Amino acid sequence: MNIVYAVALLGVLAAVFGLILAVAGKVFEVQTDPRLSQIQACLAGANCGGCGYPGCAGCAEAILAGKAPVTACAPVGAEGAAKIAAIMGLEATAGERMVAHVACNGGIHAGKNFTYRGVQDCLAATKVCGGDVNGCRYGCFGFGTCVSACKFDAIHINENGVAEVDKEKCTDCGACRAACPRKLIAEVPYKQKVFVNCANRDRGPGVVKVCTDSCIGCGLCERTCKLDAIHVVDNVAVIDCDKCRNCTMCAKVCPRNAIEPIPTEEERERFKAAQKAAAERAAAKKAAAEAAE
């Protein structure tokens, strides 16, 4: 009987403590706004940090508290912002889509002061000899720190050894901009097709020595533009995207190929095909010459 009494007593105590915990849970319950989970479900879920908050959960809390706009998460775009605005009972402002762009086309066109054999990281390279690895002290290192930072596979090192953005994949999260130690990556409108791919602010003679595709600040583009959309600032041409109409006149007169329109996918394929055909012709010519010998 003692065992039965002990079991019964323990059962009663368990029931009493369970009741106490249930009452305490109700009394001290922290009410969670159901909109929080709804907002978080609308976010990208990449925890990229581009919004400036600690992950998507932090961004959702900031939006709910009114500390961040409904457009805080750039990757979700206008459609996602509209959903968040509906949850918040607000109206989402229709903004222009923005993407990232790398203001450099150096790479193989720029010289090297020495061969860097350290950690393949742009920030690490800045610690070696004052970061003077490239001939151009303003150019892209090409080690891909921005590539590692991107959660959307929207930026890669191209065949010229320079970071290049795929604007179709880019969500303008800002991670690559934050990762670039030389601040070469800018936010530009998606519609923009003409860019000055140079950030070297040195004077002409010094620039010519370090890169074959550099801007020398000659001002020819500025004098050619009929829309007042491009000006030489600190020895390098700068395009005003609000005024630019992508006419490409500035690119056509640039003597240094520093201003380039972004090629379409069809143009890229034609260029690759032309390169392949030229290589095949050169190989055939070489083979014929060797056979003749």
- pLDDT, one tens digit per residue, over 143-189 is 999 999 999 999 999 988 999 999 989 988 889 999 999 999 999 99
pTM greater than 0.85 (yes/no):
no
My answer on whether 127 and 53 are in the same domain is no
Average of per-residue pLDDT across 89-95? 71
My answer on whether 143 and 225 are in the same domain is no
Q: Which of 157, 158, 116, 156 lies closest to 134, judged by CA? A: 116
Residue 277 lies in a domain: no
Domain count, the chain: 3
Residue 2 lies in a domain: no
The CATH number for 131's domain is 3.30.70.20
**Residue 221: domain span:** 193-263
My answer on whether 181 and 197 are in the same domain is no
Residue 290 lies in a domain: no
Cβ–Cβ under 8 Å, residues 109 and 119? no
The CATH number for 46's domain is 1.10.15
My answer on whether 117 and 185 are in the same domain is yes
